[in-house]
């Protein structure tokens, strides 16, 4: 019986089987049924569509997903290294500064990116921070203790936007691991900045974590009672007026004015009681 028959088609257990091995096996002259089994196993194990695996084997439509990259990998590495050197010299750049540098570079190359406004990429709603950015934030604080500096940065991230309680817990969890790593590396550098910067140069340029997308309030912003229109004031006080007598409302208003220190206004209401 041939290799591609159902009887001789032995599909291994997913555990311990690498995707590379699966693809290598699929290159063999297996029978159609056996190839389907291998593709199904790879799709289930690695979460890849069987169609994608088939296209990979046939070399079809294997371009990178998404919009084509504006800069080559070499250009990205060169710009990142230059910005890192500038930061090490004591001139850290903001995100807008970095986007402007890239825009000027594209203009110098004579390139015009249609999806960018004036060759400047719009900031993403999802905020990504490198470890170097976090370290620069730490160094800008007056606290002498690294624990206090890290706590300050953590509080900044948590309160920087309108995050939900679940988002705040997620930020604390991610930052907790990062704090431990910072403390360990700071200790290994004998608590000296120059040694720390020398040992962690590459590590500082890596991504620390992403802040979650903050929740947005939908609709018109609410107004205070004082700024509301007369019709809105009547609508807001409708339940209060229906459930209380006028004398009760006057008494409550008179007492509240007195508590707030508005004695003249309180005296005006007193004769009505």
The closest alpha carbon to 120, from 97, 86, 93, 92, belongs to 97
Q: What is the Cα–Cα distance from 140 to 154, expressed in whole angstroms?
A: 14
Q: What is the Cα–Cα distance from 183 to 189, expressed in whole angstroms?
A: 10
Pairing of strands 207-211, 127-130: antiparallel
Q: Is 121's pLDDT higher than 80?
A: no
pLDDT in tens, 210-240: 887 766 555 565 667 777 788 887 887 888 7
**CB atoms near residue 38 (< 10 Å):** 21
Q: What is the Cα–Cα distance from 185 to 257, expressed in whole angstroms?
A: 60
* Most confident listed range (66-75, 109-118, 173-182): 173-182
Q: Is 29's pLDDT higher than 70?
A: no
pLDDT at 185: 92
Q: How many residues does the chain have?
A: 273
pLDDT at 99: 81
Q: DSSP letters of the chain?
A: --TTSTTT--PPPSTT--HHHHHHHHTS---HHHHHHHHHHHHHHHT--HHHHHHHHHT-S-SPSSSPPSS-HHHHHHHHHHHHHHHHTT-PPPHHHHHHHHHHHHHHTT---TTSBTTBPPPPSSEEEEHHHHHHHHHTS--SSHHHHHHHHHHHHHHSS---HHHHHHHHHHHHHHHHHHHHHHHHTTT-HHHHHHHSHHHHTSEEEEEPPPP---SSPPPPTTTS-HHHHHHHTHHHHHHS-HHHHHHHHHHHHHHTT-HHHHHHHGGG-
pLDDT at 72: 82
- Place 4 in a pLDDT band, splitting at 50, 70 and 90: very low
Q: Is 194's pLDDT higher than 50?
A: yes
Q: What is the Cα–Cα distance from 115 to 66, expressed in whole angstroms?
A: 13
Q: Is 7's pLDDT higher than 60?
A: no
Rounded to a whole number of angstroms, the distance between the first and last alpha carbons of the chain is 106
**CB atoms near residue 156 (< 10 Å):** 12
C-alpha distance from residue 56 to each of 20, 26, 69 (Å): 12, 11, 21
pLDDT at 271: 57
Q: Is 270's pLDDT higher than 50?
A: yes
Q: Is 200's pLDDT higher than 80?
A: yes
């Amino acid at each position: 019986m041939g290799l591609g028959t159902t009887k001789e088609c032995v599909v291994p257990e997913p555990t311990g089987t690498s995707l590379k091995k699966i693809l290598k096996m699929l290159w063999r002259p297996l029978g159609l049924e056996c190839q389907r089994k291998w593709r199904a196993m790879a799709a289930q194990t690695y979460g890849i569509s069987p169609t994608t695996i088939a296209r990979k084997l046939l070399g079809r439509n294997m371009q990178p997903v998404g919009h084509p990259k504006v800069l080559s990998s070499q250009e990205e590495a060169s710009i990142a290294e230059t910005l890192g050197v500038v930061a090490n010299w004591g001139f850290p750049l903001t995100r807008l500064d970095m986007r402007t540098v890239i825009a000027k570079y594209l203009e110098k190359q004579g390139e015009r990116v249609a999806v960018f406004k004036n060759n400047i990429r719009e900031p993403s709603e999802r905020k990504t921070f490198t470890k170097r950015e976090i370290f620069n934030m730490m160094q800008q604080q007056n606290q002498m203790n690294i624990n206090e500096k890290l706590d300050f940065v953590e509080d900044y991230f948590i309160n920087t936007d309108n995050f939900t309680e679940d988002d705040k817990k997620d930020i604390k969890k991610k930052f907790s691991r990062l704090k431990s790593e910072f403390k360990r590396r700071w200790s290994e550098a004998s608590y000296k900045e120059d040694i720390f910067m020398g040992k962690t140069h590459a590590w500082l340029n890596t991504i620390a974590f992403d802040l979650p997308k903050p929740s947005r309030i939908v609709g018109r912003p609410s107004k205070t009672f004082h700024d509301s229109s007369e019709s809105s004031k009547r609508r807001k006080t409708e339940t209060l007026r229906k459930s209380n007598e006028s004398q009760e409302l006057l008494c409550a208003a008179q007492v509240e004015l007195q508590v707030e220190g508005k004695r003249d206004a309180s005296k005006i209401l007193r004769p009505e009681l």
